[in-house]
């Protein structure tokens, strides 16, 4: 009986370990060591930077810039394309700025200082959910240990109940 009980306990722990998933957001420094400034040689600098990254809901973008020299505005796609802030979603002018990506889909950022956006100080990022869905406007549940803990605790109770019924 003892060996059977030990094997059942081990099986429960294996199941629990395989289902436990913790999530942690990632903070991306926009432009890496260059930060958020007017590109000097590559006007596609920020789009190139974003191309090799996968952004998901709850990730953070850290825009490092000197207050009074730059700002960061989240704008609509037409605002991004035309480098105008007439359709501004948000604007921050005190650097550095950390922006949490709260929804899936495309996000557009520009510097509103004259000449900066047309010179390439703009960024487009595509944000996915945990599962890779990019449907615009879909809110994903926050990535945190608490949401995983609820699932894990539920599985523990189900596993214990199953174990008790089988023994």
pLDDT > 50? residue 43: yes
Q: Across the chain, what does the average pLDDT equal?
A: 80
Domains of the chain are 24-135 (2.60.40.420)
Q: How many C-beta atoms lie closer than 10 Å to residue 6's C-beta? A: 10
The answer to whether the beta carbons of residues 63 and 89 sit under 8 Å apart is no
Q: How confident is the model at residue 146 (pLDDT cuts 50, 70, 90)?
A: very low
162 contacts: CB under 8 Å, gap ≥ 6: none
Q: Distance between CA 146 and CA 86 in Å, rounded?
A: 39
What pLDDT score does 130 carry?
72
Pick from 2-11, 35-44, 64-73, 132-141: least confident: 132-141
Helices (H), the chain: 2-19, 45-51, 77-82, 145-166
Distance (Å, whole) CA 2 – CA 117: 71
User: Lowest-confidence range among 65-74, 107-116, 141-150?
Assistant: 141-150
Question: In a 3-state reduction of DSSP, which class is residue 134?
Answer: coil
Average pLDDT over residues 18-23: 49
Instruction: For residue 60, name the pLDDT band (cuts at 50, 70, 90).
Output: very high
Angle 9-17-149 (CA atoms, 0-180°, nearest 5)? 110
| Rounded Cα–Cα distance for residues 22 and 150 (Å) | 11
Question: For residue 98, what are its two tokens?
Answer: 């950390």
Report the first-to-last Cα separation within the chain, whole angstroms.
9
Q: What are the tens digits of pLDDT across the range 61-102? A: 999 999 999 999 999 999 999 999 888 999 999 999 999 999
């Amino acid at each position: 009986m003892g060996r059977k009980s030990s094997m059942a306990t081990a099986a429960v722990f294996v199941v629990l370990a395989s289902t436990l998933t913790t999530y942690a957001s990632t903070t991306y420094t926009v432009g890496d060591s260059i930060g958020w400034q007017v590109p000097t040689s590559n006007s596609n600098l920020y789009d190139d930077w974003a191309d090799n990254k996968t952004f998901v809901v709850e990730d953070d973008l850290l825009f490092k810039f000197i207050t009074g020299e730059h700002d960061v505005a989240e704008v609509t796609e037409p605002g991004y394309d035309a480098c105008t802030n007439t359709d501004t979603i948000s604007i921050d002018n005190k650097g550095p700025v950390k922006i949490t990506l709260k929804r899936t889909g495309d996000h557009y950022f520009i510097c509103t200082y004259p000449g900066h956006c047309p010179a390439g100080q703009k960024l487009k990022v595509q944000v996915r959910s945990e599962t890779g869905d990019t449907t615009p406007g879909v809110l994903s549940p926050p990535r945190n240990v608490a949401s995983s803990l609820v699932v894990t605790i539920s599985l523990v109770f189900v596993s214990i109940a199953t174990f008790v019924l089988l023994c």
